[in-house]
Chain A
Amino acid sequence: MCAVELTTDKRTEAGVLVNDFAIVAATVNGSGSQTANNTLVRALFKMGIPVNGKNLFPSNIYGLPTWYTIRLSKDGYIARRPDYHVLAAMNPKTQAEDIEKLASGGLCIYPEEWKLKPTRSDITYVPMPVREMVKESGAPPALKEYVANMVYVGAVAELLGIDLVEIKNALSYFLKGKAKAVDLNYFLVEKAAMHVREHFTDLPRNFRAERMDATRGKVLIEGNSAAALGAIFGGVSVAAWYPITPSTSMIDALMDYAKELRVEPDGKKTLVVVQAEDELAAAGIIIGAGWMGARALTATSGPGISLMAEFSGLAYFAEVPCVIWDIQRMGPSTGLPTRTSQGDVLKAYYLSHGDTRHVVLLPANMKECFEFGWRAHDLADRLQTPIFVLSDLDLGMNLWMTDPFDYPDQPMDRGKVITYEDLEKFGTWGRYKDVDGDGIGYRSLPGQGPAYFARGTGHTEYATYSERPDDWQKNLDRLARKFETARRIVPKPISQLEAHATCGIIAYGSTDAPVAEARDLLKAAGLITSYHRLRALPLGEATHEFVGLYERIYVVENNYLGQMAQLLKMEYPDLADRIISISHCDGLPLTARWIADSILEKEQK
């Protein structure tokens, strides 16, 4: 039960929503609507309006429904919003449901040739002669379906007041300035805009996109591209992967950027990307490369993570640096490959059998996808262990507005490495000997330093095989010490403490955006919250302190089991009763409304 009415609609006096509504383009997948949607997003972005695009697409090549939501938010909110006000209904199979969900007062653009019978009187129907316009454009048959999407771009632009110059510029940007393609597409945009102008003179213009100055200096990028870029600036030189949605575009971006950034004057590469035969091999390749001393990564998703379990344990125990990106999607099992979730937290943290634990980074935005992209390699080398980076489909495959990325603020940290020359100074050396008390030994690289025998079997600090209980115990004690070192050096959580807060919220990753908005909604409803955003596992002391501050700590996450809440309860058994899980997983990014409602409901109990 929610007693407080929450609303995000802020209509002006005249009943017009300015830069604070959502557009949905409902299309058929494979019909080429991506350029159309990206064009709208970019045009709005260039008008200085905070904007976010989210693609809800099927695991399919052609013919299944796709919905692309564009949210304009003058307040800068970038989370998903569940309602929409402008609909481009381009998919006959879903139009009935799509129209039914359209907000009251909304605009519905659809192909005139459908001869729809209006079912709602509280919305405005805008039929467009799509077929006729496409015919008129002279588009070759192969392109007809693609360019048809430009009709809704033009109609939306005209109805909302989006500057057509920005649309043209955006088209030119995505079509890489190819004049013929730009002209063909823009012909339809203009045609559609003109049609609206001429035929719908008395339409209520309830929704308006007005120029602002809130995107100056910002860029638009997808999380997977940001991650790839980060890895390249982190000096990754071997990447191995097996195609899996939604991680594939990270490797695609890596290959694209590598062409520009990692080819030497003689045409030779300093980054090699190997498409492996499966995720086991991908893990093996990066572990081989990491053991040899190269910076290596793989990108995968849930099923791939499961397959990498055994190898992850080897890298943990033989202490081999490598970086594993998990662009999370829905599980269990194959789940929903094209839907987002945060369901791999516990799996990644404890991946592999025996007493294995891993360092897990939790980027929440584009800047962190980039920063953790390079920092993960520093941490891997410093801690001599696999570093998991948990992104998700929402972060990875959607376009986000962000401040430009900061160049790495420190040189690469290659960690503790001993060479043949060092050995002369050291005298004796044991690969797994904890000479500094931080649980981290000095590693040596083949061809560059003294030999040792790396293995996944029991070993002494001199890397010799051992089945002795005391050797085993000593080794695990040291690994535990190393994990404590990790606790201190992984990215720190970010706390926003409010003086009059009565409860705390913990979240991480892509849930950050809706939580930030939910806190404003809660504040408006009279509930002041403090916020603690986790950025890595293992949890640090700051998190323990935060949990200690409030009697109720809401842990918000996009999975079914409330995995982080479970982990917090396990880490802080003395405070376990104050940890309340707010978790939900239906394939969609969480919304601020749902989070605020859920917390209010618990508060009122």
Chain B
Amino acid sequence: MTARTAKTNALGLEKTAYKGAESTLCNGCGHDSISAKIIDACWELGLDQRYIFKLSGIGCSSKTPAYFLGLSHSFNTVHGRMPSVATGATLANRKLICIGVSGDGDTGSIGLGQFKHLLRRNVPMVYIVENNGVYGLTKGQFSATADENQRQKYYGVNHFPPIDLCLEAIVADCTFVARSFSGDPQQCRELIKAALSHKGTALLDIISPCVTFNDTPESTKSYAYGKAHNIELQEIEYIPPGLVIQRQEITIPEYAEGETIAVTLHDGSQILLKKTDQSHDPRDKQAAIRLLEQAKAEQKFITGLIYIAEPRPTLGELERIADTPLAELPEERLRPSREALAKIMASLA
């Protein structure tokens, strides 16, 4: 026993209560840092793990839901198809929080179609891509986000331009798009918190070095590269609803140089974006697209909140599903009456 009282959150829980099983990933894997930040974010926000569920596809990244929030339900699905499972699960219970974890192969290659359709439908969830540009579990093949002209020992040179998942998300009308770096824990954590407060799909593309197959200094997905080149668009701080004094609509005040501005999210929380020497306005869709195109052309490693907009209605809202979660509806609300059947039969006679 230490003399120091352990820190507890709003639910009176210590952070260890949010842990999962021990990670089986390589030592130093960026994914483990992200798991730790998910734990931090959920603990600090005082979220009840019983009302969170975790989804993933297949790959190193998709193993990680086992390593955080051990008291939350989880479903490790099939390769590239987590988005459709998320679509069904969130429709079936609209009261729960969905955190999905995928990788660059899972989302950018095999699952690109499902990813785009999930965004298009605005399925309410935090969608985290742990992006390392490489297939880890099958030992080092290029993924769809690998750098153009990158060389790998066994597989040679990648001749194809990378797919930018943030860009894909913006053009698919996702209303919360951010990029982060697993080596930047503070930014990661704050973005995860903000994503949890967003209504609809919030995409976090987190560059997460693969220490085994893609951590050479020349790789843009390496620790060394990330540390040296990370250009933070903003300093980000998330303020939970209870601590936000002045509530305001999501309209962001004019974004002037050097100013800290607050974006109010739909649950009343705020993200404070303190401008750095970059001049990106995340409310400007065209600017966000230009920023990403430019970063790609100049091989710049841009992180931060890239795009945020007034959330579109979620799939469940558009479908006008019942307020009670479909999964919890009692029989009397699911099975029409005997009279209803008799009436239909009479109409067919």
Q: Does B192 contact A (CB under 8 A)?
A: no
- The answer to whether B322 touches A233, judged by C-beta atoms less than 8 angstroms apart, is no
Contact, CB under 8 Å: B78 / A311: yes
Of B46-54, B171-179, B283-291, the one touching chain A: B46-54
Q: Return the contact of B73 from the options A281, A452, A456 (Cβ within 8 A).
A: A452
Q: Roughly how many angstroms separate A286 CA and B89 CA in the complex, as a whole number?
A: 8
Residues on B with beta carbons closer than 8 Å to the beta carbon of A269 = 319-322
Q: Which of the residues A219, A270, A411 comes within 8 Å of B322, measured between beta carbons?
A: A270
Bound form: Cα–Cα A268–B91 in Å: 13
Is the CB of A464 closer than 8 A to any CB of chain B? yes
Q: State whether B88 touches A233 (Cβ < 8 A).
A: no
Partner-contacting stretch, out of A11-19, A118-126, A441-449: A441-449
Find B329's partner among A229, A267, A270, A444 (CB 8 Å cutoff).
A270
A411 to B332, CA, bound (A): 10
Contact with B along A281-312 (1 / 0, CB 8 A): 11111111111111110000000000000110
Contact at B53–A446, with CB atoms within 8 Å?
yes
B134 to chain A, nearest CB (A): 21
Q: Contacts A261-B340, A311-B78 given: A293-B73 contact, CB under 8 Å?
A: no
Residue interface mask B46-86, A partner, CB < 8 A = 1: 00011101010000000001100011111111100101111
Residue of B nearest to A283 (CB): B84
1/0 contact trace for B314-349 toward A, CB 8 Å? Answer: 011001111101111101011110101110110011
Chain A residue nearest to B54 in the complex (CB): A453
Residues of A within 8 A of B87 (CB): 240, 274, 276, 281, 284-285, 288
B114, CB-defined interface residue at 8 Å: yes
Q: Tell me, in angstroms, the Cα distance from A465 to B66 when the chains sit together.
A: 9
Given known contacts A272-B321, A453-B74, is B338 in contact with A407 (CB within 8 Å)? yes
Mark out the residues of chain B between 188 and 239 whose CB falls within 8 Å of any chain A CB in the assembled complex.
none
The 8 Å CB contact of B74, one of A232, A412, A454, is A454
Say if the beta carbon of A264 comes within 8 Å of chain B.
yes
Cross-chain contact of A288 among B86, B117, B315, B333 (Cβ < 8 A): B86
Is residue A405 contacting chain B, with contact meaning CB distance below 8 A? yes
- Which of B113, B316, B344 counts the most A-chain CB atoms under 10 A from its CB? B344
In angstroms, how far is the closest chain B Cβ from the Cβ of A184?
Answer: 24
What's the nearest-Cβ distance from chain A to residue B135, in Å?
17
Given contacts A237-B329, A412-B334, A454-B74, contact A446 B66 (CB under 8 A): no
Cβ–Cβ < 8 Å partners of B321 in chain A: 268-270, 272
Residues of B within 8 A of A374 (CB): 335
Q: Bound complex: CA of A286 vs CA of B336, how far in Å?
A: 21
Rounded to whole angstroms, the CA-CA distance of A232 and B65 in the bound complex is 35
A408 at the A/B interface (Cβ < 8 Å)?
A: yes
Does B309 have its Cβ within 8 Å of any Cβ on chain A?
no
With an 8 A cutoff between CB atoms, is B244 at the interface?
Answer: no
B21 close to A (CB within 8 Å): yes
Kindly state the interface size class of chain B when it binds its partner: 35 or more
Q: Which residues of A sit under 8 angstroms from B159, Cβ to Cβ?
A: none
**Selected interface stretch from B37-45, B92-100, B143-151, B292-300:** B92-100
| Chain A hits for B326, CB < 8 A | 237-238, 270, 272, 289, 294
Which residues of B are found within 8 Å of A536, using beta-carbon distances?
Answer: none
Complex: how many Å from CA A257 to CA B340?
Answer: 11
Chain B residues whose CB sits within 8 angstroms of the CB of A408 once the complex forms:
335
Q: A269-B321, A411-B331 are in contact. List 4 more A-B contacts (CB 8 A).
A: A274-B319, A288-B91, A292-B89, A412-B334
Contacts A238-B326, A268-B320, A274-B91 given: A318-B333 contact, CB under 8 Å? no
Q: Are B81 and A284 in contact (CB under 8 A)?
A: yes
Does A214 lie at the interface of the complex (its beta carbon under 8 Å from any beta carbon of B)?
Answer: no
A292 touches B76 (CB 8 A): no
In the complex, the answer to whether A235 meets B322 with C-beta atoms within 8 Å is no
Query: Which of A280, A288, A465 has the most C-beta atoms of chain B within 10 angstroms of its own C-beta?
Result: A288
A/B interface sample: 27 pairs, CB < 8 A: A217-B349, A218-B349, A219-B348, A219-B349, A220-B348, A233-B336, A233-B341, A237-B334, A264-B333, A272-B326, A276-B84, A280-B84, A281-B84, A283-B84, A284-B78, A285-B84, A288-B75, A288-B87, A294-B91, A310-B81, A404-B342, A405-B341, A445-B327, A447-B328, A451-B72, A452-B74, A454-B73
